[in-house]
Chains A and B, each alone.
Chain A
Amino acid sequence: MNRDDFTFRAPRQAVRACTVLAAIGAVAVAAGLAVAPTETWASLLLVSYALVGLSLGSAVLIALQYVTGAGWGVALRRVPEAMALALPVGAVGILLVLVCAPSLYPWTSHTDAHTGHVSELKHLWLSRPFFLVRAVVYLACWYAFILALVRNSRRQDRDGAVSHTRRNVALSAAFLVVFGVTCWLASYDWVMSLEPEWYSTIFGLYAFAGLFLGGLAALTLLVLWLRRAGPLRRVVSVDHLHDLGKLVFAFSTFWVYIWFCQYMLIWYVNNPEETAYYIRRQDGAWQSLLVLSVVLNWGVPFLALLSRAAKRNAVWLGRVCAVVLLGQWLDLYVLIGPPFGQPTVQELALQAVLLLGAGGVFCLAVFRALGQAPLVPVGDPFLVESLPASSTAFAGRLAHNPGEEVCFPVTHEGRGGQQIGQAHPDRV
């Protein structure tokens, strides 16, 4: 067993396909900007925000696992790490939109009649320089935390020191606090201020629920692909899929819970400033899309993943995750699209091309990150706990022959012991 088995080399066809998609996407952006700039910028904002969400969702999952001392996901951790490292792809898109297309945000033009109702405090908060500085701060902050977490994790591959895990636990705790505030504010800035008179205090939580659900679905799809394509075949067991399925199921339900919290309060209070948001989204084609988004994000995964067998079925789980990802895109479209009018076929086509293109760039970035380190964090003291018990190639040999050519630290404490403190000292 040596670490070469866990080197990831992206399949040539996949790289080629992603490159072609990225090129098509770039052409589509250029063409779109020439023909319909506003719609194109809005689409670019949507796609970039979605990609940032995927990266952030992965980063939050990593941090949560460190903070809670979860062992089950350690074997898969390189996958969310790679997705988190792809943050710059979406970040560049967001910054491009914020810098080049201020006209998306009605509050930037003070002559606009819209701003008449916006309060003084909002005027102070939504001033353009402050707005841009904030965006840079959020993105830089997230990326710094991600880089630090991944760097420690990769260093641990070489020396297997427990101190890296300890450091990452502390970093993760700090990241979760910082993320809680910045995610909230960023969603207010980038999405909610598209309609500055409207406000919803739960919006940040709603944004988090969406990005975490999307991140989990994308992560699951990637894990399934790596499992089928080879490198993670012996590492990812059905129990891991079961756990991922449970998370997707749980956060799909969490998402609809938050969605409904926002909807019901606005419906019940019937306050004109707030209902305007849903009235716009119940107009014409938007109404069907609004309903469809709830069906795809919750209705389908809830019913499809309710049973234990469904969560343990790789094909089924993959399909549901694809539906959830589509649903997350639709949810963002219903969030961002309505201020720019009714959906049109051209707009949807542009969205589809942009989405594929951006997805291509994102996948290339993920492939690159996956290739930089072994696909399994071979130095992590929790790894043994995460590996499938049935996988005799690992666990059986590791547990009793720690002196062999083995690159995993071994604990004899079993579950609930003090794994971190008692990682095996004479590991190779």
Chain B
Amino acid sequence: MNRRLFLGTFEREEDLLGATAEARQQGLRIVDVYTPYAVHGLDHAMGLAPSRLGRACFVFGLLGVGFALWFQFWASAVDWPINVGGRPWNSLPAFVPVAFEVMVLFAGVGVVLSFLLVSRLYPGKRAVVPVAEVTDDRFALVLEENDAAFDVDTVRRLFAAHHAVATEEREEQDPPPPPAPAPRSRVRINAALLVLLVVLVALNWFLTPDPGQPNREFLPDMARSVPYDAFAPNPNFPNGQTLQTPPPGTIPRGQLPLHYAATPEDALRAGRELINPLDGKSAQIRERGALVYANYCLLCHGPAGKGDGPVAVRGVPPPPSLLADHALQMKDGQLFHVLTYGQGNMASYASQLSREDRWSAILHVRALQQAGKGQP
């Protein structure tokens, strides 16, 4: 079935707005209005419902914020926590900038895609231009004959009252005829783009840099720092080296020297000179001592210190009982020397146990000896 369309062309925005509003008041069916630019108030004159894109935008923004906050929380507090200057892993202030940007990204891209989808502006969509001038300096109002009461003269009077510069009547097939094939110029442009793509892929393939060569450096300030590397020659020091030998007597931070050699004599001397800095009053230290004993000593010495640990039972030469007189008579300092340098079959535990842990283990041994008094 064909439909009859009436086109009014206007020179001025105000005339178009007036004609559109009046046409709507008179109950005429407005097919569409064509303008060279967005005209304020036209949606109102046409009686269009407010856009729902704002709500879509809000939802996309919320999604973006939610996703970004969750991802940052998961990445920096759950999956791969990294200590940054002692800040909590889940630090909201640090997440805000990324959350903000992702919100903008989601809202922006989301709302554009929704708009294209809702307006059916798919790729390859053909533009509908009723009058070529609407792309330049004219405004066109298109009305449709909608029922039998439709009066052509009313439309003409309406157009004339609003200073229409041209009025035109058109018959249009419904559905509209299939679009003409794409013009040749567009085919050529698409072909050129395709060739360009192939060339770029080919270039990328052939110009792949040699993986054995270093990459090109762009702004290398961060990679090549001004200070001398630790082992680079350095003209500023008399010996020509960057890394200087520490002055005699220097000790690393947090490390205390221990002035005992790994000899039985020094073990005795340690027994005379050293006293346990910890005492058993603190439950925390007692628990620590029990833990250290359980992890490192129990395997050979056994849960009660009788030398019947799981390893000793299965063939490793068992150590003497810690409850024996010899062990009872050993001073704390002597035990510390044993833990630090080893004795007989027992190896040194200095690299596994900190000093505090060694002393706490000794506390536990004393507690075991106290508990096992009078037993063989």
B374 within 8 A of A: no
B134 to chain A, nearest CB (A): 15
Residues from chain A with Cβ under 8 Å of B93 in the complex: 260, 263-264, 267-268
Question: 8 Å CB contacts to A: which residues of B40-79?
Answer: 40-41, 50, 54, 58
Q: Sorted from nearest, which 6 A-B pairs have the closest CB atoms?
A: A414-B13, A264-B93, A267-B93, A414-B12, A389-B41, A270-B85
CB distance from A169 to the nearest CB of B (A): 24
* Given A264-B96, A268-B94, A414-B12, A308-B50 contact (CB < 8 Å): yes
Whether A148 sits at the interface, judged by CB under 8 Å, is no
Q: Mark B1-40, 1 if CB is under 8 A from A, else 0.
A: 0000000000011100100000000000000000001001
Is B97 interfacial (CB 8 A cutoff)?
yes
Determine how close the nearest CB of chain B comes to the CB of A353; give it in whole angstroms. 37
Tell me the minimal C-beta distance from A257 to chain B in angstroms.
Answer: 8
CB of A117, distance to nearest CB on chain B (Å) = 23
Nearest residue in A to B94 (C-beta to C-beta)?
Answer: A268
Within the complex, the shortest CB–CB distance from B141 to chain A, in Å, comes to 16
| B40 CB to nearest A CB, Å | 8
**Are B54 and A264 in contact, CB atoms less than 8 angstroms apart?**
no
Tell me the residues in window 393-419 of chain A with beta carbons closer than 8 Å to chain B beta carbons. 399, 412, 414-416
Question: Which A residues from 285 to 328 make CB contacts under 8 A with B?
Answer: 306-308
**17 residue pairs A–B, Cβ–Cβ below 8 Å:** A263-B93, A264-B94, A264-B96, A264-B97, A267-B93, A268-B93, A268-B94, A306-B58, A307-B54, A308-B50, A389-B17, A389-B40, A389-B41, A412-B12, A414-B13, A414-B14, A415-B40
Q: Which B residues are CB-close (under 8 A) to A412?
A: 12
Given contacts A264-B96, A264-B97, A268-B93, 7 further A-B contacts (CB under 8 A): A260-B96, A263-B93, A264-B94, A270-B85, A308-B50, A399-B14, A414-B13
Q: Is the interface of B mostly helix, strand, loop or mixed?
A: helix
Q: Which of under 10, 10 to 19, 20 to 34, or 35 or more describes the interface residues of B? A: 10 to 19
Residues in chain A near residue B58, CB distance under 8 A: 306
Contacts of A416 in B (CB 8 A): 37
A412 to B13, CA, bound (A): 10
Within 8 A of B (CB), among A257-273: 260, 263-264, 267-268, 270
Min CB–CB distance A183 → chain B (angstroms): 26
The size class of the interface chain A forms with chain B is 10 to 19
Across the interface, which residues of B come within 8 angstroms of A270, CB to CB? 85
Residues of A within 8 A of B85 (CB): 270
Provide the residues of chain B in CB contact with A308, threshold 8 Å: 50, 54
**Chain A 367-409 against B: per-residue CB contact (8 Å), 1 yes, 0 no?**
0000000000000000000000100000000010000000000
- Please state if B13 and A415 are interface contacts (CB–CB under 8 Å): yes
Inter-chain contacts of B54 with A (CB < 8 A): 307-308
Q: B55 to chain A: closest CB distance in Å?
A: 9
Question: A263 vs B94: C-alpha distance in the bound complex, in angstroms?
Answer: 11
A306 and chain B: residue at smallest CB distance: B58
Q: How distant is A304 from chain B, measured CB to nearest CB, in Å?
A: 14
CB A306 to nearest CB in B, in angstroms, measures 7
Within 8 A of A (CB), among B276-293: none
How far, in whole Å, are A293 and B359 apart by their CA atoms in the complex?
55
For B40, the chain A residues whose CB sits under 8 A away are 389, 415
Q: How far is the CA of A263 from the CA of B93 in the complex (A)?
A: 9
| Bound-state Cα–Cα, A307 to B53, Å | 12
Interface residues of B in 331-357 (CB under 8 A from A): none
Please, how many angstroms separate the alpha-carbon atoms of A307 and B51 in the complex? 12
Q: In the complex, which residue of chain B has the Cβ closest to the Cβ of A415?
A: B13
| Bound form: Cα–Cα A267–B13 in Å | 54
Chain B residues with CB below 8 A from A306, complex form: 58
Whole-angstrom distance between the Cβ of A281 and the nearest chain B Cβ: 15
Residues from chain B with a CB closer than 8 A to the CB of A307 are: 54
Complex Cα distance, B50 from A307, in Å, reads 12
How far is the CB of A424 from the nearest CB of chain B, in Å? Answer: 15
For B14, the chain A residues whose CB sits under 8 A away are 389, 399, 414
Whole-angstrom CA separation of A414 from B16 in the bound complex: 12
Complex formed: what's the CA distance from A70 to B13 in Å?
Answer: 19
Determine the distance from Cα of A412 to Cα of B163 in the docked complex, in whole angstroms.
14
Contact with A along B85-107 (1 / 0, CB 8 A): 10000000110110000000000
- Bound-complex Cα distance A389 to B44 (A): 12
Contacts of B41 in A (CB 8 A): 389
Docked CA distance A91–B204 (Å) = 66
Distance to closest chain B CB from A199 (angstroms): 20
Q: Chain A's nearest CB lies how many Å from the CB of B323?
A: 54
